[in-house]
Amino acid sequence: MNMKGSVCIMNDHIMNTNENAGSRSRLQKKFSELRAHNRKGLIIYICAGDPDIRTTFNMAKAIAKAGADVIELGVPFSDPLADGPVIQAASTRALASGTNVKKILALVDSLRYEDDFPKIPLVLMTYLNPVYRYGLAEFVRDAAAAGVDGLIVPDLPAGEEESAELINAMSGPDIFMDLIPLVAPTSTDERIRAAADIARSFIYCVSLTGVTGARDSLPAGLEGFIGRVRSLTDKPVAVGFGISTPEHAREAARHADAVIVGSAIVKTIHDVTTSMGTGPAALASVRAVVEGFKNAITARPACSDS
């Protein structure tokens, strides 16, 4: 299956391409691999369907070739409370292009047939509303079958009925998909411990209070915040929100197991597809930007000759 034509789910069925054997998801395997090799992870967020699904398919392949360890696909929503203006605008464009959950799951299913994607974790970031509109149990079933490895749900209430319902749906024996909890600098120690209990692969540490978007610098209290999370759990931590430059990524990677870059990539995709179209030049431009972030978190200080 490929993306040469329009995306469809034949007979409303998504082929199960989940290759996880045993009880560990691709995400768990990825973070174990990163720790075993003493490497930091790069998680790249893009808005699915911006400017269209086919371009997202090609951008995801370019991002994988650039060295992303995990790709996070944003499910566009009309009221994205956690997102800043860059991602809000991308969501608006994606919805205008006709993007919906079913098309995004078909996109994931199609990516699993590509050479770079059998082992690359794919995560969906979605608000609760699209999940409930699809049907919670049906969403979990179809997302897992398509090859989705994790869910980030920024408006999921902690410790409430909605959380329990989603967690229970994701606990089936054939569901190799992780719920990724978010914690913020304002989170209590109790909330962080609760997130650690939920997390099977990693905890998403929101670097600041507020919405996603580019920032001039990282928050002054980031090191202390990550240190507090680490004092309460040994689960891997990834830091996101405001990672705008390779220098930001390098600094954040000093404290976290992985860094999440979103608005900077979403803006690049919009800029290059607007100015260049969606062909090879645009893909190469996005790949170069992602490579810049990858190099920043993997570069080692040069050793002087003895």
Of 50, 69, 72, 109, the catalytic one is 72
Q: Catalytic residue among 52, 69, 83, 149, which?
A: 83
Q: How far apart are CA 40 and CA 253, in angstroms?
A: 6
Question: For helices 263-276 and 53-65, what crossing angle results, to 10°?
Answer: 120
User: Looking at residue 130, what is its pLDDT?
Assistant: 95
Please list the rounded mean pLDDT of every run of 10 residues in the chain (306 residues): 41 39 79 95 98 98 97 92 87 97 98 87 95 95 96 82 84 88 94 92 85 62 95 96 93 95 96 97 98 89 43
Torsion (CA) 294, 296, 299, 304 in degrees, nearest 10:
160
> Is 145 within 8 Å of 102 (Cβ atoms)?
no
* Alpha helix stretches (DSSP H) within the chain: 26-36, 53-65, 85-96, 101-111, 128-134, 136-146, 161-169, 189-198, 222-232, 246-253, 263-276, 280-298
For domain 24-298, the CATH class is alpha beta
Residue 68 and residue 120 in contact, taking contact as beta carbons nearer than 8 Å = yes
From edge to edge, which strands make up the β-sheet containing 178-179?
178-179, 150-152, 122-125, 70-74, 41-47, 258-261, 237-240, 203-206, 182-183
Strand, helix or coil at 194? helix
Phi, psi torsion values for 4, nearest 5 degrees: -70, -30
Tokens representing 247 are 């220098």
State the pLDDT at residue 208: 74
Please report, for residues 40, 298, 300, 306, the alpha-carbon distance to residue 303 in angstroms, rounded to integers and kept in the order given. 20, 15, 9, 9
Active site residue 234: no
Q: Does the annotation count 72 as an active-site position?
A: yes
Predicted local distance difference test score (pLDDT) of residue 53: 98
Structure tokens at 201: 């692969």
- Among the listed residues 229, 172, 206, 199, the one whose alpha carbon sits nearest the alpha carbon of residue 27: 199
Cβ atoms within 10 A of the Cβ of 33, count? 13
Q: Are 8 and 106 in contact (CB under 8 A)?
A: yes
- Three-state SS at 101: helix
Residue 296 to residues 31, 44, 249, 293, 301: CA-CA distances in angstroms? Answer: 19, 14, 7, 5, 11
Residue matched to tokens 């967690």 = 167
